[in-house]
Amino acid sequence: MAVKELRQGLRRGFFIIPFMVIHLFAIAALYMEFYTDAELGTNPYTGVMQMGLFFENSPFWWVAGAICISLMPMGGIVLMGQEMDEGNYELLQMTELSRWQVVLGKFISIWSITLLTFSSLIPYLIVRYFVGGMEVWRNIALALTVVFASAIVSAGAIGASSFKNPFAKTGIFCLFMLSCSVSGYTVLAASALQSGSCGIFYHLNVIGLTICYIVLGLVIARSRIRLVVHQYEVQPSWMMICLLVFTPIVVGMSTLMTGGWMGFIGCVAMTIVARFADISPKAPKWVKMPELNIPEESKSQDVI
C-alpha cells in the first residue's frame, strides 16, 4: 500500500511543483542570509518543536517550514477520499490488507514525500555550515521540528480526508490542529519553564505528543472505513472526535499532577485509548462457521 501510494504521489503535482519551488526559495533565502547582518541571539529554550525558533530572522527555515510543514503534508487531504469514493475501501479490505495497513500506507507515503523534499535541502545546510554563522544545535532542533511536525500534520490531513463533505474535512482538520496546539503548548511550555531549558523531560514530552497525535489522526481515518457498525455501538468516527476534545484535558491533568514535568504520561494514555477504541468485532479462529439454514422449499425448487 505504501509503495503504491508513494509511486503515485511522486508523479502528482503536489510533489513536483513544491519540490521545484522550495529550491528556488531556498536559494533566495540563502542569499538573504549571506548579505544581511542579522545575528541570532542565544535562546535558552532551543529545542525540538519550539515553534518560536521559526519566527527568528532565518529566511532559510521560513521556507523549509512553510513548504515541509504546511504545504506538502496537506496533500494528504485528498488521499482517503480516493478510497471512500464508490466504496473502494471495501474492495481493499477483501484482500489481506487490514484497516490499519490501509491508513498507515497512505501516511507513510505522504510523510516520505515530505521527508524526501526536506532531505534535498541538506546541501544548503552544508553550505551554511562552511560559510559560517550557523548554530549547530539550533539547526538540528529546527530540522527535527520539521520532521515531527510534518508527521503530525500528515496524520491530521489523512484523518480529515476520510470525510466526504469539504466543510467536514476543514472542521475536522482545524479541530485536530487546535487540539494538538493546546496539548503541545501545555505540556511543552510547562516542562521547559520548570527546568529553565529544553532538557530531557521536554524532549520526552515531544516524543509522546508526536506519537499521540499521529495515532489520533490515523484512527480517525481508520474509523471511517469500518465495514459494519452494530446498532448498540457508538459511531466510531464520533468517538474519535470526542478523543480529540478530551486529549488536551487529559494531557493538562497529567502535566499538573506531575508538576509540569511528565505530561507525556497523558499522551501515552490517550494513545493507548485511541489505538484500542475502535476494534472490529471478530470471532476467534476456533469458532466454526454456522451451517447454512436453507428452507426445504428452496432446495426443492433448486432441484427442479
pLDDT digits (tens, 9 = 90+) for 25-62: 888 877 777 776 555 556 778 889 988 888 776 788 88
The DSSP annotation for the chain comes to: -HHHHHHHHHHSHHHHHHHHHHHHHHHHHHHHHHTS---PPP-TT--TT-GGGGGSS-HHHHHHHIIIIIIGGGGGGGHHHHHHGGGHHHHHHTTT--HHHHHHHHHHHHHHHHHHHHHTTHHHHHHHHHHS---HHHHHHHHHHHHHHHHHHHHHHHHHHT-SSHHHHHHHHHHHHHHHHHHHHHHHHHHHHHHTS--HHHHHHHHHHHHHHHHHHHHHHHHHT-S---TTSPPHHHHHHHHHHHHHHHHHHHHHHTTTS-THHHHHHHHHHHHHHS------TTSPPPPP---HHHHHHHH-
Amino acid at 243: L
Is pLDDT at 227 greater than 70 in this prediction?
A: no
Question: Domain ranges in the chain?
Answer: 2-293
Give yes or no for a contact between 117 and 22, defined as CB atoms under 8 angstroms apart: yes
Is pLDDT at 201 greater than 60 in this prediction?
A: yes
Q: What is the mean pLDDT of residues 240-260?
A: 92
- pLDDT value for 23: 81
Is pLDDT at 287 greater than 60 in this prediction?
A: yes
Weakest-pLDDT range from 107-116, 123-132, 197-206: 123-132
pLDDT digits (tens, 9 = 90+) for 48-101: 998 888 877 678 888 888 888 988 888 778 777 666 665 666 666 666 777 888
pLDDT digits (tens, 9 = 90+) for 260-275: 889 999 999 999 998 8
Q: Read off the pLDDT band of 299 (50, 70, 90).
A: very low
